[in-house]
């Protein structure tokens, strides 16, 4: 399909099956607000969300001291975590839509090394209407070792030892240990796991490691305002107003 001004939605729907496209995400804006529609091809349903707040991925990374967004993390699907979703019909439909929006992961066959992202979608019970959306990068680092040694193991850069009188200073006050105290950022107990597979070159099978989440964006706060039976048409199954 060649994109042109004369294209209609049905033109994209007709080729979606051939290209393996399962969902359409359509963004729009009015003077009142911004919206995103999640459409299941080829026959719907369509969920329309109002975007109350959003932060672009580049803005999230720019706010961090040490941003981390490796390109190879996007070669595999993310882990999807849904929280606080209720039993109301529109919430059940939102649950199914968010789950199917990303490729399914077989927990028995998945390789831990491919689990490098996580998507968290929460239903905010305090407001009773919004869905905060967060996107994180996942990494693992070994526990039970000095922070300076962990930094030396995980970095791919050769340390500069030109100003050191002895190699031991690399791990003490003048080297990697200079800006990391042993008590800084102690690992939470529930963030430690015993790996059953190799995760990376330092977090190996059988070792105890800490799981690190670092936000990579985008960040959104969504409100489900309407559910339509078809692709942007058909019977209205739910309306917030």
The range of the structural domain enclosing residue 104 comes to 18-141+215-239
44-60 average pLDDT score: 95
Does residue 146 have a pLDDT over 70? no
pLDDT of residue 117: 94
| In-domain check, residue 192 | no
**Residue 180 forms part of a structural domain:** no
pLDDT surpassing 90 at residue 227? yes
CATH code at position 224: 3.40.50
- pLDDT higher than 80, residue 162: no
Confidence of residue 186 (pLDDT cuts 50, 70, 90): very low
Q: Calculate mean pLDDT across residues 235-241.
A: 93
The verdict on residue 189 lying in a domain is: no
Report pLDDT for 181. Answer: 37
The reply to whether 173 falls in a domain is: no
Secondary structure, 3-state, the chain: CCCCCCCCHHHHHHHHHHHCCCEEEEEEECCCCEEEEEEECCCCCEEEEEEEEEECHHHHHHCCCCCCCCHHHHHCCCEEEEECCCCCHHHHHHHHHHHHCCCCCCCCCCCHHHCCEEEEEECCCCCCCEEEEEEEEEEEEECCCCHHHHHHHHCCCCCCCCCCCCHHHHHCCCCHHHHCCCCCCCCCHHHEEECCCCCCCCCCCCCEEEEEEEECCCEEEEEEEEEECCCCCCCEEEECC
Domain tally for the chain? 1
Does residue 53 form part of some domain?
Answer: yes
Residue 51 placed within a domain: yes
Look at residue 98 and tell me whether its pLDDT is greater than 90. Answer: yes
Range of lowest pLDDT (43-47, 151-155, 210-214, 228-232):
151-155
């Amino acid at each position: 399909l060649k994109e042109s001004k004369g294209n209609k939605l049905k033109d994209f729907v007709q080729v979606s099956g051939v290209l393996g496209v399962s969902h359409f995400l359509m963004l729009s804006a009015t003077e009142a607000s911004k919206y995103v529609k999640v459409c299941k091809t080829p026959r719907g349903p369509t969920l329309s969300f109002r975007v109350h707040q959003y932060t672009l991925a580049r803005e999230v990374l720019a706010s961090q001291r040490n941003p981390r967004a490796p390109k190879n993390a996007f070669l595999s699907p993310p882990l999807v975590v849904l929280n606080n979703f209720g039993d109301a019909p529109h919430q059940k439909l939102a649950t199914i839509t968010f789950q199917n929006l990303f490729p399914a992961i077989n927990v028995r066959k998945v390789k831990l090394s491919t689990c490098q992202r996580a998507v968290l979608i929460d239903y905010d019970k305090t407001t009773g209407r919004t869905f905060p959306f967060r996107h994180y990068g996942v990494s693992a680092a070994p526990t039970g070792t000095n922070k300076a040694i962990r930094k030396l193991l995980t970095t791919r850069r050769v340390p500069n030892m030109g100003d050191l009188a002895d190699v031991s200073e690399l791990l003490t006050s003048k080297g990697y240990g200079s800006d990391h105290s042993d008590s800084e950022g102690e690992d939470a107990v529930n963030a430690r796991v015993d790996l059953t597979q190799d995760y990376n070159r330092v977090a190996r099978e059988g070792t105890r490691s800490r799981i690190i989440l670092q936000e990579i964006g985008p960040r959104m706060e969504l409100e489900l305002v309407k559910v339509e039976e078809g692709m942007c048409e058909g019977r209205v199954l739910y309306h917030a107003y």
